[in-house]
């Protein structure tokens, strides 16, 4: 009888212990037994194409040891009319597949840091991600129409994860955020490249001067990495971090600063403005227009305006729309240059000069009121336009030798 009591007690204890163990197993997330999946974040490089960094997905098949990288940031240089399609945003990017060793070789060569965030996924979730990427890699699926802000190597990874995990994924965006426009976000990366910074600000319109949401900021790899670090998974047990571990694959020492390069648009454009101010003063004293400068200057502004019109109306780039740089670099400036070169119709020329003067003033108003953020280095160019249009407009009749002695 005593033995039976002990047996029953033992069975109850065993049953209770098994139930507790089963409960613990059911509440713990199921670990990925077949794949290890990671987000790779690569630091920016020194060239414009690598200025914003890069993101990719690394997948290790644990049984075979196969180590691959799925990369949404590749395109085919052999595409017909490559540069035309690139400019018009009709060039397709594609998902590529390579070994991790090959992928990392470039970053090792250029001394660019690479970090890895291992994802804390269940076996089922891992298999779904692999299946998703395999479907995307099929020849009929791998190409996509690249968009710098909304469809790139980073946003594709976000879309993949949200598609696979659905409501199980929580991004946990911070309540207190930095209020940054898309242009502010770009400026964080291009400030070491002042000429590239100028070119980007000239080409992109007012559409990028709206504030980006926390989700939209993840078009940049560094911000995507931060989003992964905050995210959690729910619904299959206790809430757990999306990232289980972060590794530094490459961690090179920071390169020493080369100092300030004085050959930049800020310095050169202000020096240029000072020289034109002196030229205008000399012209006023000597009663000369020095039209050679104006012909070249307004020709460049007009050609720049033609480029802005092309990017706005004849390309698929959504970010080049509503570009109010057109107010100071207007295609009709080419006609001003033409009239200055040939014997002018003074009435038409003065009308065009007055229009150019008003448009430059409006550009300043647009800038001040925040409708579009212009690159700071164009301020001296605006002052030159206002100065020279005023000078020619008011002295065109006084300096009658515009075509003979200037």
CATH number assigned to the domain comprising residue 105 = 3.90.1720.10
391: number of CA atoms within 13 Å, CB side? 24
Q: Is residue 270 located within the same domain as residue 246?
A: no
Hey, is 299 helix, strand or coil? helix
Asked whether residue 3 is assigned to any structural domain, the reply reads no
How confident is the model at residue 5, as a pLDDT?
Answer: 34
pLDDT tens sequence across 202-214:
999 999 999 999 9
How confident is the model at residue 83, as a pLDDT?
Answer: 65
Asked whether residue 355 is assigned to any structural domain, the reply reads yes
Q: Is residue 145 located within the same domain as residue 186?
A: yes
Q: Which residues contact 255 (CB under 8 A, 6 or more apart)?
A: 111
Q: Is residue 193 located within the same domain as residue 289?
A: no
Q: Give the separation between CA 168 and CA 232, rounded to whole angstroms.
A: 8
DSSP 318: G
Asked whether residue 21 is assigned to any structural domain, the reply reads no
How confident is the model at residue 257, as a pLDDT?
Answer: 61
How confident is the model at residue 312, as a pLDDT?
Answer: 95
How confident is the model at residue 176, as a pLDDT?
Answer: 80
Give pTM, 2 decimals.
0.85
How confident is the model at residue 14, as a pLDDT?
Answer: 38
Q: Is residue 269 located within the same domain as residue 242?
A: no
Q: Is residue 39 located within the same domain as residue 104?
A: yes
Q: Is residue 243 located within the same domain as residue 317?
A: no
Residues of the chain whose pLDDT is less than 50?
A: 1-33, 401-406
pLDDT tens sequence across 50-79:
999 999 999 999 999 999 999 999 987 677
The last residue of one of the domains, among 207, 222, 250, is: 250
Structure tokens given for 63: 């049984």
Q: Is residue 286 located within the same domain as residue 245?
A: no
Q: Is residue 194 located within the same domain as residue 279?
A: no
Number of domains the chain is built from: 2
Q: Is residue 169 located within the same domain as residue 72?
A: yes
Asked whether residue 316 is assigned to any structural domain, the reply reads yes
Asked whether residue 56 is assigned to any structural domain, the reply reads yes
Q: Is residue 55 located within the same domain as residue 166?
A: yes
Instruction: From residue 178, give the alpha-carbon distance in Å to each of 75, 181, 192.
Output: 33, 10, 22
Asked whether residue 19 is assigned to any structural domain, the reply reads no
Q: Is residue 223 located within the same domain as residue 138?
A: yes
Structure tokens given for 271: 């020096």
Asked whether residue 25 is assigned to any structural domain, the reply reads no
How confident is the model at residue 76, as a pLDDT?
Answer: 75
Kind and range of the H or E element at 357?
A: helix 346-369
Range of the domain at 380: 265-395
Q: Is residue 233 located within the same domain as residue 119?
A: yes
Hey, is 275 helix, strand or coil? helix
């Amino acid at each position: 009888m005593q033995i039976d009591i002990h047996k029953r007690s033992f069975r109850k204890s065993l049953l209770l212990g098994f139930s507790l163990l089963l409960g613990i197993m059911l509440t713990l997330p199921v670990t990925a037994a077949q794949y290890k999946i990671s987000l790779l974040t690569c630091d920016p490089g020194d060239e414009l194409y690598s200025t914003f960094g890069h993101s990719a997905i690394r997948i290790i098949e644990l049984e075979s040891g196969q180590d691959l990288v799925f990369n949404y940031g590749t395109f085919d240089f052999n595409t017909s009319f490559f540069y035309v399609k690139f400019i018009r945003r009709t060039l397709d990017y594609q998902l590529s597949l390579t070994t991790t060793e090959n992928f990392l070789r470039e970053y090792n060569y250029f001394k660019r840091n690479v970090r890895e965030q291992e994802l804390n996924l269940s076996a089922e979730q891992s298999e779904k991600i692999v299946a998703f990427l395999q479907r995307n890699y099929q020849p009929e699926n791998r190409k996509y129409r690249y968009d710098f802000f909304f469809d790139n190597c980073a946003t594709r990874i976000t879309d993949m994860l949200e598609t696979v995990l659905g409501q199980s994924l929580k991004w946990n965006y911070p309540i207190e955020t930095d209020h940054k426009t898309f242009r502010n976000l770009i400026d964080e990366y291009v400030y070491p490249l002042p000429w590239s910074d100028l070119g980007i600000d000239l080409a992109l319109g007012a559409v990028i001067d709206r504030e980006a949401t926390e989700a939209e900021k993840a078009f940049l790899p560094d911000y995507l990495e931060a989003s992964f670090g905050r995210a959690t998974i729910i619904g299959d047990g206790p809430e757990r971090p999306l990232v289980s571990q972060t590794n530094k694959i490459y961690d090179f020492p920071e390169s020493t600063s080369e100092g300030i390069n004085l050959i930049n648009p800020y310095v050169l454009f202000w020096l240029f403005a000072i020289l034109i101010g002196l030229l205008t003063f000399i012209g006023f004293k000597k009663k000369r227009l020095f039209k050679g400068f104006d012909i070249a200057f307004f020709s460049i502004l007009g050609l720049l305006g033609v480029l802005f019109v092309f990017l706005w109306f004849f390309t698929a780039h959504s970010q080049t729309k509503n570009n109010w740089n057109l107010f100071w670099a207007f295609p009709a400036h080419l006609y001003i240059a033409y009239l200055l070169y040939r014997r002018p119709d003074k009435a038409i020329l003065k009308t065009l000069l007055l229009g150019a003067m008003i448009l430059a003033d409006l550009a300043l108003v647009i800038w001040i009121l925040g409708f579009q953020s212009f690159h700071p280095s164009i301020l001296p160019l605006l002052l030159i336009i206002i100065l020279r249009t005023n000078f020619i407009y008011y002295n065109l009749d006084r300096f009658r030798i515009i075509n003979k002695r200037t």
